[in-house]
Amino acid sequence: MESKAGIVALLGAPNAGKSTLFNRLIGASLAGVTPKPQTTRFLIRGLLNHELGQIILVDTPGWIAQPKNAWHEALNRHSRHAAQDADALVYLISLHGGRKSVGSDDPLFPDWLAALRKPLWVGVTHADELPKEMREARVREVASMVEVLAPRGVYDVSLDRPLEELIRALFEALPEGPPLYPTDEITPQSVRFFVGEIIRKQLYLHLHEELPYGTEVEVTSYREQPEQDYIAATIYVEKESHKPMVIGRGGAMIKKIGTEARKEIEQLVGKKVYLELYVKVAPAWRKSVQRLRSWGYEVKRDSS
């Protein structure tokens, strides 16, 4: 059988379970998973190497039906471009709490998604949190709602369900060809990129309420050494009053965030890491086109 290779984008509303599914499919915890939405801000790529070939999986930011600022618009732009560049799409719908992950006033899919006319599947997540009889009824309900938009099928991809059937269905839609990346790798992205993702994950896990959404991480220095890597990163906050909240009393909070991030980075690189964290203020950065662009967000040139 001829090997296949192609790109599959995972899409869905915030907290639909995209990063969890992404990590399960590639067999590694590359994408940060937290209980808070919008943990994923940039496109994260992972390699699913299989006997049928290679899938380049793309984890995307949650689709925001009603963006409120330039940052939200940039997150949506990342997701939309990932879908446009992919060979096939999986749109996730969460049954968390017995409801869809999209609000009652939001469309089930973004209007542009069906217009792409690409192979599209729906994955149902968090169904394992429901009683069995309710679970089956809710999955059937979702299937009836999406049968026109996603004729390729609906899969229950909750944590207690195997993924092999979905994987084989995805390969059927991909073009024939050799692997696009070495098959002994799990991602084409740099360690430096994932260092930023790991630090951001710890911010989401340790900071409360809305504060994590007003933070951004920039890895300013990464020096590889045989025995120990040296990393410096800056955590930006939007207000001067937020700075002491990130640092904590006597530096306790920033120390906790740094310690947990360092442990995870050491697991990633397989050696000791020296990590320095700094906290600076970038006023209203979520509305600043210039600041967003400097950090790698896709922002329209004519945005204000």
Q: What are residue 217's DSSP bridge partners?
A: 235
CA pseudo-torsion sign 159, 163, 169, 175: positive
Q: What is the CATH number of domain 191-294?
A: 3.30.300.20
Cα torsion 24, 26, 27, 28 to 10°: value is -100
Give the Cα separation of 230 and 158 in Å (integer): 38
**Could you tell me the pTM of the whole model?**
0.90
Confidence of residue 34 (pLDDT cuts 50, 70, 90): confident
Domain layout of the chain by residue ranges: 4-173, 191-294
Q: What is the pLDDT of residue 246?
A: 97
Distances (CA, A) of 202 to 34, 62, 193, 264: 9, 19, 15, 10
Q: What is the CATH number of domain 4-173?
A: 3.40.50.300
Q: What is the pLDDT of residue 285?
A: 96
- pLDDT tens for residues 85-107? 999 999 999 987 544 444 334 55
pLDDT at 279 over 50: yes
In the chain, the percentage of residues whose pLDDT exceeds 70 is: 94
Q: What is the pLDDT of residue 107?
A: 59
Distance of CA 176 to the CA centre of its chain: 27
Judge whether 279 and 235 are in contact, CB under 8 Å: yes
Give the Cα separation of 156 and 124 in Å (integer): 5
- pLDDT tens for residues 153-180? 899 999 999 999 999 999 999 999 999 9
- pLDDT tens for residues 188-225? 999 999 999 999 999 999 998 889 999 999 999 999 99
